[in-house]
Amino acid sequence: MTDNTLVLTDLHRHLDGSVRPQTVLALARHFNLPLPADTLAALRPILQVTEPCASVEAFLAKLDYQVAVLGNLDAVHRVARENVEDLALEGVDYAELRFSPAYMAGPHGLPQDGVVEAVVDGVQSAARATGVKVNLIGILCRGDGEAACQRELDAILSQRDHFVACDLAGDELGFPGERFVDHFRRVRDAGLNVTIHAGEPGPPQSIWQAVTELGATRLGHATTAVQDPRLMAHLAQEGIGIESCPTSNVHANSVADYEVHPIRQFVAAGIPVCLNTDDPGVSANSVPFEYRMARERIGLTDAQLRQIQHNGLQLAFLSDAERAELRARKRQARG
Ligand SMILES: [Zn+2]
């Protein structure tokens, strides 16, 4: 389903939503923490989604198990390393991993700066070992409120050179983007790119706000954009990319099923869209799985999927020279 002559990317993947179930179990045992089950077989259905959740919130609640076991910075380092190892196993050439320092630090009161350092170091060492190229996106966890998000941004900017962008994630309806205009001014002033979780489940207005007030040049999900033809035209005209994550949208019940996923309308409208996993720790998915579902369930053609794979590299927060290097590496690997 994926074209192995093209660079394969995942631009929307939460590092703190991609903890292996066996690692959740191992860390819980190591730190002597309670879990609702003590075997991998019994734990999987609790950690992972097997059928659509009642809501986005119910989906997000599943994520909490993955950070609840981060008892120290070594655990954070391990999770960061394993994220990159899993990308390599899926055949991904380039990924942008995103994480919320506050979300990872929260359960055990770890220092946010330390969490950022541990993630940076873990990702870098595994990237060297595997050859996967990885950049980081810092998340502001909107549900923590404006003041906490400023502190979270402080932690991200303390390692500014190790990030390519910032994102806003969490409770979109309860904490709308209007409350984070100052934060994203700081992000842009620091020279970082902006991508925003918008339009899942927020209305089209939330997507407009992300683009016009927060400075988003890419959007996470944006599934409700199809309700506003003027917005669709604007995204296409401005080349604003949509990071689509169909399995996650189905699991979070923000899209009824693959067959009605709006990615087909995005493609038809000429919006640059790419395929991504979001939270493999919950959805048990992978990049190749998303391409397979896009073909078999959503009904995209091979030509459309090749264009989507191409878009992944074009939308990446990389320089043209870095893109060229990834393409050259791919050619070399094929001999
Ligand atoms: Zn996401």
Compute, in angstroms, the gap from residue 116 CA to the centroid of ligand 1: 19
What is the identity of the amino acid at 94?
A: Y
What local confidence, expressed as pLDDT, does residue 51 receive?
A: 79
Q: What is the pLDDT along the chain (335 residues), one digit of tens a residue?
A: 799 999 999 999 999 999 999 999 999 999 999 999 989 999 999 999 977 887 777 888 889 999 999 999 999 999 999 999 999 999 999 999 999 999 999 999 999 999 999 999 999 999 999 999 999 999 999 999 999 999 999 999 999 999 999 999 999 999 999 999 999 999 999 999 999 999 998 999 999 999 999 999 999 999 999 999 999 999 999 999 999 999 999 999 999 999 999 999 999 999 999 999 999 999 999 999 999 999 999 999 999 999 999 999 999 999 999 999 999 999 988 76
**β-sheet bridge partners, residue 198:** 221
Domain locations along the chain:
11-334
d(CA 144, CA 193): 22
Compute, in angstroms, the gap from residue 280 CA to the centroid of ligand 1: 11
d(CA 185, CA 164): 15
Compute, in angstroms, the gap from residue 15 CA to the centroid of ligand 1: 10
Q: Which fold has domain 11-334?
A: TIM Barrel (3.20.20)
What local confidence, expressed as pLDDT, does residue 53 receive?
A: 80
What local confidence, expressed as pLDDT, does residue 55 receive?
A: 78
Pick left, alpha or beta for residue 131 (phi over 0 → left; psi -120 to 50 → alpha; otherwise beta): left
Q: Is the peptide bond preceding residue 201 cis, with omega within 30 degrees of 0?
A: yes
Compute, in angstroms, the gap from residue 294 CA to the centroid of ligand 1: 18
Residues with catalytic annotation? 200
Compute, in angstroms, the gap from residue 170 CA to the centroid of ligand 1: 8
Compute, in angstroms, the gap from residue 333 CA to the centroid of ligand 1: 31
Closest-CA residue to 241 (of 15, 17, 12): 12
CB 85 within 8 A of CB 124: no
Compute, in angstroms, the gap from residue 335 CA to the centroid of ligand 1: 36
Compute, in angstroms, the gap from residue 327 CA to the centroid of ligand 1: 26
d(CA 223, CA 227): 9
In angstroms, what CA-CA distances link 298 with 132, 261, 291? Answer: 28, 7, 10
Three-state SS for the chain is CCCCCCCCEEEEEEHHHCCCHHHHHHHHHHCCCCCCCCCHHHHHHHHCCCCCCCCHHHHHHHHHHHHHCCCCHHHHHHHHHHHHHHHHHHCCCEEEEEECHHHHHHHHCCCHHHHHHHHHHHHHHHHHHHCCEEEEEEEEEHHHCHHHHHHHHHHHHCCHHHEEEEEEECCCCCCCHHHHHHHHHHHHHCCCEEEEEECCCCCHHHHHHHHHCCCCCEEEECHHHHHCHHHHHHHHHHCCEEEECHHHHHHCCCCCCHHHCCHHHHHHHCCCEEECCECHHHHCCCHHHHHHHHHHHHCCCHHHHHHHHHHHHHHCCCCHHHHHHHHHHHHHHHC
d(CA 271, CA 313): 15
What local confidence, expressed as pLDDT, does residue 7 receive?
A: 98
Tokens 């631009």 appear where?
11
What is the identity of the amino acid at 82?
A: E
Compute, in angstroms, the gap from residue 6 CA to the centroid of ligand 1: 24
Compute, in angstroms, the gap from residue 258 CA to the centroid of ligand 1: 17
d(CA 109, CA 85): 27
Compute the radius of gyration of the chain from its Cα atoms: 19
What local confidence, expressed as pLDDT, does residue 52 receive?
A: 82
**Burial letters for 262-293: b for 16+ Cβ neighbours within 10 Å, e otherwise?**
bbbebbebebbbbbbbbbbbbbbbbbebbbeb
CB 138 within 8 A of CB 153: yes
Please give the structure tokens belonging to residue 35: 């879990």
What local confidence, expressed as pLDDT, does residue 240 receive?
A: 98
Q: What is the dihedral of CA 164, 165, 170, 171, to 10 degrees?
A: 180
Compute, in angstroms, the gap from residue 319 CA to the centroid of ligand 1: 23
Closest-CA residue to 138 (of 121, 160, 122): 160
What local confidence, expressed as pLDDT, does residue 54 receive?
A: 78
